[in-house]
Every structure is written in C-alpha cells, then in structure tokens.
Amino acid sequence: KDHWEVDPQELTLGEELGSGQFGLVLEGMWREKKVAVKMTREECMSDDEFKEEALVMTKLSHSKLVQLYGVCTQHSPMCLVFEFMENGCLSDYLRARKGQLSQDVMLGMCLDVSEGMAYLESSNFIHRDLAARNCLVSHDHEVKVSDFGMTRFVLDDQYTSSQCSKFPVKWSAPEVIRYSKFSSKSDVWSFGVLMWEVYSEGRLPYENRSNAEVVESLNAGLRLLKPRLAPDAVHLLMEWCWKEKPEDRPSFALLVHELASLSNI
C-alpha cells in the first residue's frame, strides 16, 4: 500500500465544513489530529488523473500551504485528508473582522500567501485560482494557500472556460482571459487582487461590475483603486502585479522580499 494511503478505519468523521467545489468537506479526526476530509463526488471530478495528481500534491509541503496528509483511493467516493484550518476561508474571515485587523496583521497575511506561492513557483506548480476565498486561516491570523492546481479536475466547464459565468475573471490576468495562458506570473496577477481583498477587508473587487465590464476596463488600462487601508508602498506592489505583460510582473520570490522589508520598517 502506498504510504500516502490513509486507512479509512483510522478516520473519524464529524460536522460538515461546507460543500466544496468537488463535494462534501467534513471535519474529522485522524491519528489524534484534527483534519478536514474532502469526499469527492464522482460526477464533479475525473477520478484516475486525480489519483496521481493527489500524490503530486502530497509532495508539495510548506508551512504556508494547506497540507494534504493523505488520500483514500481504494474505494469510492475517494477522500482527501487535509490539515484542519480552524478559522475557515480568508474572505469570510476578513469580512467578519472589518475594522478589527491591524496594519501588521494585514501585511502579515499578504506575506504568508506570498511565501506559500513562492514555494509553488519554485516547484513550477501553478495555482490557477488564487483568491482570498481559496486561502484558509488557522489560529491567530496565520494564512495558508489552499486548493492549488485543483481547477484542472473541475468537470464543470461553466467554471473552466473564461467566457462562462463561473470563471473568476476578476482575479484573472489578461492572457488567461484571452488565451487561457496560465503561469506563475498569472498567479502573481491574482495575488495582486488578493492583496486588494485583504486591505479592502474582504470586499468583492470591481463590486457591482459584470465580468464583461471588468474585461473592458482592464483593456482600457484601468486597474483596481488603492484601498483606503493600504499604504502607498503596498498599492505600488499591487500595481506591479497588474502589469499587462507577464514578464513585467514581479516573481513571488521578489514579492516575499518586498513584503518582508515592509514588515520590518
């Protein structure tokens, strides 16, 4: 048996944490650790390719990535056993704490995500859907990146093609919208929007504008405005992430350096 295989007998399942993109996510216990267990629904995810991909994901390990502990693939529905992040997704966390987050905490959240993303960048692993909703918060404001690379297993093409309603246009780089050209530099664009979300306390980017209107304004060179709480130096980093040409954007390694130097001021 592969050592990433979790024995279902060792799993205790509890309350529902939410019905994720692929199916049910339950709280649970595994080897005295609190875990989040994702039961994959057959019709939402292609099984086979997912198995070896899940094994790739078990090899990605970093303190700022939500850790996959193991998989149960010997029966259906397959389940993925993750480290448990008790404060749920970052977007809900920001909205619930409007007006209560200090400058240090907001900067620390951006730094946490940039560190996790710099690790994925160094592993040549593209997230494809980086946003505050796909980051999770553990105890005391620690933020980790979640569900990296999982978009490739979504069978719902409403989600995967940029012309459709569920595609995350507001977080997508121009080359992704136009040509589905994903790269770590398109993840950097999304990271710029995530920084905007953090300093906007979880507000929706381009609030009441449609995806089509957002595409038009981006093509006209318009960008999200500086959130009231964002220092100029952080807004400059956001705008750097939103350069039209991918090669003009910073790497995550450089963003970590810039954000770390801001947090030491």
Ligand X SMILES: Cn1cc(-c2ccnc(-n3ncc4cc(C(C)(C)C)cc(F)c4c3=O)c2CO)cc(Nc2ccncn2)c1=O
Q: Check binding of 134 to ligand X (CB under 6 A).
A: yes
Q: Check binding of 20 to ligand X (CB under 6 A).
A: yes
Which of these is catalytic: 129, 156, 157, 187? 129
Closest CA to 25 of 160, 186, 162, 136: 136
- Contact string 54-83 vs ligand X (x = CB under 6 A): ------------x---------------x-
Rounded CA-CA distance 11/77 in Å is 14
Q: Check binding of 146 to ligand X (CB under 6 A).
A: yes
Strand residues in 142-234 grouped as ranges (E):
143-145
Q: Check binding of 115 to ligand X (CB under 6 A).
A: no
Closest CA to 21 of 48, 1, 50: 50
Q: Check binding of 36 to ligand X (CB under 6 A).
A: yes
For the chain, the 3-state helix, strand and coil shares in percent, each to the nearest 5, are 45, 15, 40
Rounded CA-CA distance 181/195 in Å is 22
Q: Check binding of 129 to ligand X (CB under 6 A).
A: yes
Q: Check binding of 22 to ligand X (CB under 6 A).
A: yes
Q: How many residues bind ligand X (CB under 6 A)?
A: 22
- Contact string 217-256 vs ligand X (x = CB under 6 A): ----------------------------------------
> Dihedral sign, CA of 63, 83, 153, 134?
negative
Looking at the Cβ atoms of 14 and 239, the one nearer to ligand X is 14
Q: Check binding of 151 to ligand X (CB under 6 A).
A: yes
Does the annotation count 47 as an active-site position? no
Looking at the Cβ atoms of 129 and 197, the one nearer to ligand X is 129
* Residues β-bridged to residue 145: 65, 135
Closest CA to 192 of 258, 139, 136, 140: 258
Q: Check binding of 85 to ligand X (CB under 6 A).
A: yes
The backbone torsions φ and ψ at residue 28, rounded to the nearest 5 degrees and listed phi first, read: -165, 180
As measured in angstroms, the least distance from the Cβ of 265 to ligand X is 32
Interface residue with ligand X, options 30, 38, 177, 190 (CB under 6 A): 38
Q: Give the HSE-up count for residue 7: Cα atoms under 13 Å, Cβ half-sphere.
A: 5
SS3 of 69, please? strand
Interface residue with ligand X, options 30, 84, 206, 242 (CB under 6 A): 84
As measured in angstroms, the least distance from the Cβ of 148 to ligand X is 8
For the chain, what is the radius of gyration of the CA atoms? 18
Residues 109 and 143 sit within 8 Å (Cβ to Cβ): yes
Active-site amino acid positions: 129
Binding site for ligand X (CB under 6 A): 17-18, 20-22, 25, 36, 38, 66, 82, 84-86, 88, 129, 134, 136, 146-147, 150-151, 154
